[in-house]
Chains A and B, each alone.
Chain A
Amino acid sequence: MNAVIEEHHDHDHKPSGLGRWLFSTNHKDIGSMYLWFAFTMFFVGGALALIIRAELFQPGMQIVEPEFFNQLTTLHGLIMVFGVIMPAFVGLANWQLPMMIGAPDMALPRMNNWSFWLLPAAFGLLLASLAMSIMGMGSAPNFGWTFYAPLSTTYGPDSTDYFIFSVHLMGISSVMGAINVIATIMNMRAPGMNYMKMPIFVWTWFITAYLLIAVMPVLAGAVTMMLTDRHFGTSFFNAAGGGDPVMFQHIFWFFGHPEVYIMILPAFGIISQIVPTFSRKPLFGYSSMVYATASIAFLSFIVWAHHMFTTGMPVAGELFFMYSTMLIAVPTGVKVFNWISTMWRGALTFETPMLFAVAFIFLFTMGGFTGLMLCIVPADFQYHDTYFVVAHFHYVLVTGAAFSIMAAVYYWLPKWTGNMYDETLGKWHFWLTCISANVLFFPMHFVGLAGMPRRIPDYALQFAEFNQMASVGAFVFGFSQLIFLYVVIKCVRGGQKATTEVWEGAKGLEFELPSPAPFHSYTTPPQVK
């Protein structure tokens, strides 16, 4: 009898087996697929990074050829940006947005399915080029993730076409995901939840989605121009045909700089959810957080050429982009100050999500400081394209974006699975990750300042010590992530049952749903006061 009643109340109607995943229109299933996809790619991209670090352990060429080294750096960058950070954030959005705004699902569930299933196709293409390279059938993309023309056009390997179509597919996927996020947030908020009552994670994703819609087509345009340059006789980026290689960089970074914020704004949202919970105190300066996010998004469109100070811009251009970039420090600073004020005089506890969140604030701020240094044009002439830059963007992307994703997974995993994760192992994961990330990335500041260019497979002898240190850190960092994998699997399979609230100080609609959250989240909208 009980079984019959349970059956009756289960409105899932989900197909079983493979069909459940292939044809899924459910935000939770699709969210899980995004997250597992990102996790898988994290290990693939990480493995490539470990080969890079193994080669750089000592001066001299030991493991790979310089040609293959360039393929490794290129694919490492592309996979980590487009295959890990972005899909992981979309996965979190899928899981959380409907629960946080009191909706049953995303607004456009079938499009949601398609936007996920384009990704395996996109990365299948990209990784096929690597597989062919390993099997000795030509080179994988070898021009860096920024694929500057004419290295990627006139001089690109045959697999560049695989890369171009792969980027097209990723772009379509991202734009559809973004449309879905906007449609969901605009139309499906619970009654009473006006814009200024939305959780910050919802706000940051709302703004991120607009950035995606604005710039992914720009990227698609850039790769399409590459395609026609390569095969249809155009000369957009070929100086010999009247084109302009520098225009490529302008177009790329007009996409690329907002892209940087696409990869950090949702992280700001996550940290703004986690810090109040474990401080047992409301978020300090909610509205200034919202305005700061919007300001950063706006500024992201007018700073792109700070990636290009050495291309020979006029002084007026250099000054403009230096000043506009400096301005970004202001709203970003506001966010950091707000997080610290949230913690101030709270009742802090340090479970794994909070540890990652606090480490995020510390280390993202480090990346912010080096970012400020990099925007100073005369000094940038020395920093540009050195390991100083590599250190900078790994601080923002690894100890920034990736740490926020780990924090989010630990924070919401009990809600998703109904089980608490293993706190001891979580802490081991955190401390190993946090310490090794710094052993890995901090010495890069030194070799960069000392004059080591980035993307080189071999280096002069005075850079040896710090490279060795970084390589040791890299291997510890990489293998520590296996603990994370184990903790997640263990939590999915069982464990101490999570309560509805999960965390003592947790607020928000997702913590009013039972754990695990029902398949269709809020089937009747809650009333928000």
Chain B
Amino acid sequence: MRAVSRPSGLACLLLASNPSYADYQLNLEPGVTSFSQGAYDIHTIVMWICVVIGIIVYGAMTYSILNHRKSNNPNPAKFDDNTTVEILWTVIPVLILLGIAVPATKVLMAMEDTSNSDMSIKVTGYQWKWHYDYVGEDVSFFSNMSTTQEQINNKEAKGEHYLLEVDNKMVIPTNKKVRFLFTSSDVIHAWWVPAFGVKKDAIPGFINESWAEVPEPGIYRGQCAELCGANHGFMPIVVEAKSEEDYLAWLDEKKAEQAAASASAEKTWTMEELMAHGETTYNTYCAACHQVGGEGLPNVFPAIKGSPVSVGDVGKHIDIVINGVAGTGMQAFGPQLNDADLAAIITYERNAWGNNTGDIVQPSDVKAAR
């Protein structure tokens, strides 16, 4: 899927000694959409024009450096003006630029045409995860990075897709024009999948558009491209393109999954169930700031271990998790998670790491507090 161009000469010598990492890449990838192919083509054209101009300019300079040094040419020429060449080197660049502008404009016009799409997915940036909403399908979910903190902190070997893997992939059908609508719930993010050639800012209060039509099934990876806070480097994007048939099957599965999740919010959970579900959910949604051990980061993210909130009044704790704390990084998780997830997280926070309050928070408690 990825174009891996092999370097030559010096670069090869320098790099050959380090086989432990994944394949590196020197150039832009052509990608899989007409969009990314267009970007790649114009990139290639402009780069080669630059290379040719570079050879001429650097060649002239090098010639002068070698041949016009004082030891070779003790008597300097006196000229300091030549109208003809000055006109030439103003006009020729203008013509070259016109030559670049024409194809660049064509590619751009094609890219910006989002009309006649087959389906739409609303992409919302959150600190620091993506939310995908399949418009008109009643399917929506969050997509979190699934690389573990242990891998990041060098306590475990790094996997093949280190930092570029998620718990819930975006799934799209092949050969359909998929329109993306971008917005954000907090700061500006940018959704970027290099293989699609799509990079668009997700801006709070605005909706941006782009599209992709992927011809072949495959998994495509990208990252947030706009600085969005502490974990900007840890909100990857993974898109899986499936044949239409597989896509529809996935969609049904996802719908069933979401129905089951809301059903589970109705039942009464045991402490063990809540703690087990709470640990995974906490590690996904909370640990980026409050850390896996609940100790937070001094003066940046408060600790949960032993904090007055998590060992004090249950109602206040539920309120903070549901509604967030205005003016801080603490988001309102009420709209993001279902009652069972929230109940599990709160129960976990109140009983893990020696907090041992013994409190059990049921989904019904969360529902009542909403």
Contact = CB atoms under 8 A, between A and B. Distances in A.
Interface stretch (A104-112, A134-142, A193-201, A214-222): A134-142
B61 A362 contact: yes
Interface string A360-399: 0110011001001100111101101110000000000000
Interface string B31-71: 00000101110110011001001100110110011001110
B227 interface: yes
Contact of A459 (B29, B192, B233): B233
A423 interface: no
Contacts of B21: 59, 461-462, 464-465
Interface stretch (B85-93, B274-282, B315-323): B85-93
B198 A148 contact: no
A344 interface: yes
Interface string A216-260: 000000000000000000000001100011100000000000000
Given A322-B104, A369-B53, A453 B224 contact: yes
A468 B15 CA distance: 10
A250 to B, nearest CB: 13
B230 A376 contact: no
Contact of A373 (B43, B68, B85): B43
Contact of A334 (B54, B89, B112, B329): B89
A118 interface: no
Contacts of B160: 461
Interface string B141-153: 0000000000111
B79 A284 contact: yes
Contacts of B298: 136
Given A151-B187, A450-B25, A70 B232 contact: yes
Contact of A148 (B100, B188, B208, B233): B188
Given A66-B230, A373-B43, A456-B223, A138 B153 contact: no
Contacts of A315: 108-109, 112
Contacts of B154: 60-62
Given A382-B194, A384-B199, A449-B25, A70 B230 contact: yes
B76 A345 contact: yes
B107 interface: yes
Interface string B188-211: 101010100111110111101100
Q: Which of A60, A350, A362, A450: most chain B CB closer than 10 A? A: A450
Given A456-B223, A465-B24, A344 B108 contact: no
Contact of B76 (A311, A334, A341, A346): A346
Interface in A306-347: 310-312, 315, 318-319, 322-323, 326-327, 329-330, 333-334, 336-337, 340-347
B163 A319 contact: no
Given A315-B109, A326-B97, A463 B24 contact: yes
A318 B200 CA distance: 13
Interface string B228-261: 1111111000000000000000000000000000
Contacts of B1: none
Q: Please report whether the interface of chain A is mostly helix, strand, loop or mixed according to DSSP.
A: helix
A326 B100 contact: yes
Interface stretch (A9-17, A40-48, A274-282, A480-488): A274-282
Contact of A377 (B58, B108, B200): B108
Contacts of B225: 310, 384-386, 453
Nearest to A368: B50
Interface residues of A, number: 98
B73 A345 contact: yes
Contact of B200 (A154, A279, A312, A337): A312
B80 A334 contact: no
B104 A382 contact: no
Nearest to B81: A285
B27 interface: yes
A454 B226 CA distance: 8
A466 B27 CA distance: 13
Given A60-B153, A347-B73, A460-B164, A362 B200 contact: no
Contacts of A318: 108, 112
Given A70-B227, A312-B201, A322-B101, A347 B108 contact: no
User: Which of B28, B29, B101, B329: most chain A CB closer than 10 A?
Assistant: B28
A61 B70 contact: no
B94 interface: yes
A144 B229 CA distance: 10
B219 interface: no
Contact of B153 (A61, A459, A460): A61
Interface of A: 59-62, 65-67, 70, 136-139, 142-144, 148, 150-151, 154-155, 239-240, 244-246, 279-286, 288, 310-312, 315, 318-319, 322-323, 326-327, 329-330, 333-334, 336-337, 340-350, 358, 361-362, 365-366, 369, 372-373, 376-379, 381-382, 384-386, 446, 449-451, 453-466, 468-469
Given A322-B104, A345-B73, A372-B46, 5 more contacts: A61-B153, A150-B204, A311-B201, A348-B68, A349-B70
